[in-house]
Amino acid sequence: MTECVECGAEVSLHDDLEVGEIIDCTTCGAELEVVDTEPPVLERAPELEEDWGE
């Protein structure tokens, strides 16, 4: 378990975590990048701004 940087809720992590992996927070949906595994550290992943067209 670790905290989501966006909303502060608990983020459940699977055990064979890899640096660089993207995990989405199940509370706020934010995309988080694993920057360290022992202990697990998450940062906001650079999410590409979806182009809404028009």
Partner 1 sequence: AETITASVVGGSGFTGGELLRLLAGHPNVEISEVTSRSKAGKSVGSVHPPLRGSDLRFTEPDDLESVDVLFAATPHGVSMGRIDEFFEVADTVVDLSADFRLETEAQYDEWYDGHEAPEYLETAEYALPEINRENLAGADLIAGGGCNATATILGLYPLFEHGILEGSAERVVVDVKVGSSEGGAGGGEASSHPERSGVVRPYAPTGHRHEAEIEQFLGTSVAFTCHAVDMIRGASATSHVFPASPVSKGDLWQAYRGCYEDEPFVRMAAGGSGVYRYPEPKAVAGTNLGEVGFELDPSNERIVVFSAIDNMMKGSAGQAVHAANVALGLEETAGLEFTGLHPVGAP
CB of 18 to partner 1, least distance (A): 19
Structural contact between residues 5 and 44, judged by C-beta atoms closer than 8 angstroms = yes
Number of neighbouring beta carbons within 10 Å of residue 50: 6
> Which one of 13, 17, 24, 37 is in contact with partner 1 (CB under 8 A)?
24
> Which one of 13, 17, 31, 37 is in contact with partner 1 (CB under 8 A)?
31
CB of 46 to partner 1, least distance (A): 12
Is 25 near partner 1 (CB under 8 A)?
yes
Name the DSSP letter for residue 24.
E
Question: How many Å is the Cα radius of gyration of the chain?
Answer: 12
